[in-house]
Chains A and B, each alone.
Chain A
Amino acid sequence: MQQLRLNFEKSTWIYLVIASLLFILPFMMSGRSIMFLVMQIFIFGIFAMSYDLLLGYTGIVSFGHAMFFGIGAYSIAIVFDLNEPTMFYLIVGVLIAVLLAAIVSFVVGILTLRLKSHFYAMLTLALAGLFLVAAEKWRSVTGGADGFTISVPEFFKDRTNLYLVCLIVMVLFFFGLRRFTNSPLGRVLMAIRENEGRTESLGYKVLHYKVIVSVVSGVVASIAGVLYMLSLRFVDTSVFATEVTLDALLMTIIGGVGTLVGPIIGAALIEFAHHWLSDLSDVHWIFERWIILFGAVYILAVIFFPKGIAGTIQELYRKKRKKRQDNKEIKSEDKMAG
Chain B
Amino acid sequence: MDLFFSLTVNGLATGMLIFLLAAGLTLIFGLMDVLNFAHGGLFVWGAFSGVWVYDLTGSFWLGIVGAIITGLILGAIIEYLIIRPVYGNHVQQILITLGLMLVLSELIKVVFGPDQKAATAPEYLQGSFMVGDVILIKYRLFIILVGFIVFGVTSLILKRTRIGLIVRAGVMNKEMVQTLGVNIRLVFMLVFMVGAAMAALGGMLMAPYSGVIYAEMGLEFGILAFIVVVIGGMGSFSGSLLAAILVGLAQAYMAYYVPALSLAVNMLLMTVVLIFRPQGLFRVGVK
Task: Identify 14 residue pairs between A and B in the complex whose beta-carbon atoms are under 8 Å apart, listed by A's number.
Answer: A63-B98, A119-B274, A119-B278, A122-B35, A122-B226, A123-B270, A123-B271, A125-B226, A126-B267, A126-B270, A133-B263, A289-B109, A292-B110, A303-B86
Chain A residue at smallest Cβ distance from B222: A125
| In the complex with contacts A119-B230, A292-B106, A129-B223 CB distance below 8 A | yes
Chain B residue at smallest Cβ distance from A111: B275
A176 within 8 A of B: no
CB distance from B60 to the nearest CB of A (A): 30
| In the complex with contacts A115-B274, A242-B219, A127-B267 CB distance below 8 A | yes
Please list the residues of chain B having a beta carbon within 8 angstroms of any beta carbon in chain A: 29, 35, 37, 82, 85-86, 90-92, 94-96, 98-100, 102-103, 106-107, 109-110, 114, 219, 223, 226-227, 230, 234, 260, 263-264, 267-268, 270-271, 274-275, 278
Q: Tell me the bound Cα distance from A125 to B94 in angstroms.
A: 12
| Known A119-B274, A122-B226, A302-B92; further 12 A-B contacts with Cβ < 8 A | A122-B227, A122-B270, A126-B271, A129-B263, A130-B264, A130-B268, A137-B260, A249-B98, A288-B114, A292-B102, A295-B102, A302-B95
| Residues in B whose Cβ lies below 8 Å from that of A292 | 102-103, 106-107, 110
| Residues in A whose Cβ lies below 8 Å from that of B260 | 137
Q: What sequence of 0s and 1s flags, for each residue 225-258 of chain A, a beta carbon within 8 Å of any chain B beta carbon? A: 0000000000000000010001001000100000
A59 within 8 A of B: yes
A286 within 8 A of B: yes
Chain A residue at smallest Cβ distance from B95: A302
Q: Tell me the bound Cα distance from A122 to B90 in angstroms.
A: 13
Candidate in B107, B114, B267 with the most chain A CB atoms within 10 angstroms:
B267
| Residues in B whose Cβ lies below 8 Å from that of A59 | 91
CB distance from A310 to the nearest CB of B (A): 17
Q: Tell me the bound Cα distance from A250 to B35 in angstroms.
A: 19
CB distance from A228 to the nearest CB of B (A): 22
- Sort chain A's interface into a size bin: 35 or more
| Residues in A whose Cβ lies below 8 Å from that of B86 | 302-303
Q: Tell me the bound Cα distance from A121 to B97 in angstroms.
A: 12
Q: Tell me which of B96, B98, B106, B264 contacts A303 (CB under 8 A).
A: B96
CB distance from A301 to the nearest CB of B (A): 9
Q: Tell me the bound Cα distance from A134 to B264 in angstroms.
A: 9
A26 within 8 A of B: no
On whether the beta carbons of B103 and A295 are closer than 8 Å, the reply is yes
Q: Tell me the bound Cα distance from A270 to B137 in angstroms.
A: 48
Q: Tell me which of B37, B94, B267, B274 contacts A129 (CB under 8 A).
A: B267
| Residues in B whose Cβ lies below 8 Å from that of A111 | 275
On whether the beta carbons of A123 and B274 are closer than 8 Å, the reply is yes
Chain B residue at smallest Cβ distance from A59: B91
A291 within 8 A of B: yes
CB distance from B257 to the nearest CB of A (A): 16
> Which are the 4 A-B pairs with shortest beta-carbon distances?
A295-B103, A126-B267, A295-B102, A298-B99
| Residues in B whose Cβ lies below 8 Å from that of A129 | 223, 263, 267
Q: Tell me which of A115, A118, A242, A296 contacts B35 (CB under 8 A).
A: A118
CB distance from B78 to the nearest CB of A (A): 11
| Residues in B whose Cβ lies below 8 Å from that of A137 | 260
On whether the beta carbons of B270 and A295 are closer than 8 Å, the reply is no
CB distance from A119 to the nearest CB of B (A): 6
| Residues in A whose Cβ lies below 8 Å from that of B234 | 118
Q: Tell me the bound Cα distance from A169 to B278 in angstroms.
A: 39
CB distance from B287 to the nearest CB of A (A): 10
| In the complex with contacts A286-B110, A292-B107, A246-B102 CB distance below 8 A | yes
Candidate in A115, A117, A118, A134 with the most chain B CB atoms within 10 angstroms:
A118
| Residues in A whose Cβ lies below 8 Å from that of B35 | 118, 121-122
Q: Which of A48-69 contact B (CB under 8 A)?
A: 55, 59, 61, 63
A112 within 8 A of B: yes
Q: Tell me the bound Cα distance from A76 to B103 in angstroms.
A: 34
Chain A residue at smallest Cβ distance from B37: A121
Q: Tell me the bound Cα distance from A125 to B37 in angstroms.
A: 11
Q: Tell me the bound Cα distance from A116 to B86 in angstroms.
A: 18
| Residues in A whose Cβ lies below 8 Å from that of B263 | 129, 133
| Residues in B whose Cβ lies below 8 Å from that of A130 | 264, 267-268
CB distance from A282 to the nearest CB of B (A): 16
Q: What sequence of 0s and 1s flags, for each residue 110-146 of chain A, a beta carbon within 8 Å of any chain B beta carbon? A: 0110011111011101110110011001000000000
Chain A residue at smallest Cβ distance from B262: A133
